[in-house]
Amino acid sequence: MFKHLLLPIDGSKLSEAAVQKGVEFAKSLNARITGFYVMPEFHIFAYRTEMVEDTKEEFAKDCRAHADQFLAVVEKAAKAAGVACDTALATSDHPYEAIIQAAEEKHCDLIMMASHGRRGMQGLLLGSETQKVLTHSKIPVLVYR
């Protein structure tokens, strides 16, 4: 069946729960996993450079620290379950595109991710990365809620 799962994580409790279930699922299939995190792009929102608090380097350092922290959750769960694990990260303002691209590049045959269940106006305004992955991915997607 499935041999390689991509498990995106965003640091939320729900995505951590999805990772735990993803690791369990991978173990039951004797599959391997790749934990994946998307870091945001650096943007300057001030018109004068004196107003900028973070430099691009500081921002990248902070993002990388968060990525390492979140991906460690995946690695720890995989190690505890005896599941082969790799991790990867990307920088993008469009996480759904990075998730799909990573799944394709890593030759994953399933993307398993959490859904925050945003609906109505909140879903419209905030968008849903999971919905976008479902809509655009040619690779099967399993949604954990």
122 lies in some domain: no
126 lies in some domain: no
CATH (domain of 93): 3.40.50.620
Per-residue pLDDT, 126: 47
Residues contacting 70, CB < 8 A, separation 6+? 9, 10, 11, 37
Cβ atoms within 10 A of the Cβ of 74, count? 27
Kindly give the confidence (pLDDT) of every residue in the chain, 145 residues in length, as a single tens digit, with 9 standing for 90 and above.
Answer: 899 999 999 999 999 999 999 999 999 999 999 999 999 998 776 555 555 566 888 889 999 999 999 999 999 999 999 999 999 999 999 999 999 999 999 999 999 999 876 655 555 544 589 999 999 999 999 999 8
134 lies in some domain: no
Distance CA 145, CA 58 (A): 34
Per-residue pLDDT, 51: 53
16 lies in some domain: yes
Per-residue pLDDT, 120: 57
91 lies in some domain: yes
pTM beyond 0.85, yes or no: yes
Per-residue pLDDT, 68: 98
In the beta sheet, which residues pair with residue 114? 144
32 lies in some domain: yes
129 lies in some domain: no
Q: How many domains does the chain have?
A: 1
131 lies in some domain: no
- Domain extent for 23: 4-115+139-144
Per-residue pLDDT, 42: 87
